[in-house]
Amino acid sequence: MPMNHIGEALGFKTQTSFSQAFRAQSGMSPKEYRLSAGLLPDIDPVQDNEPSSEQTR
């Protein structure tokens, strides 16, 4: 579920205010929490955008 939907459902007017409250309570950002809980893939955007050797042939 997108962060803005979660924040809205909890009564926050902006995603920023939700993120700040989340960090104050948990000590990490919502994204950091999702990564630590295995809810998001741990992707290196630079590495994942480079063509593989097969694509450059």
Confidence (pLDDT) at 7? 93
Residue 20 has pLDDT above 80, yes or no: yes
Measured between alpha carbons, how far is 43 from 54 in angstroms, rounded to an integer?
20
Residue 27 has pLDDT above 80, yes or no: yes
Asked whether the whole model's pTM tops 0.75, one would answer no
52 φ/ψ sector (left φ>0, alpha ψ -120 to 50, else beta)? beta
Summarised one tens digit per residue, pLDDT across range 4-17 is: 899 999 999 999 99
DSSP H helical segments within 1-57, as ranges? 3-9, 15-26, 30-36, 45-49
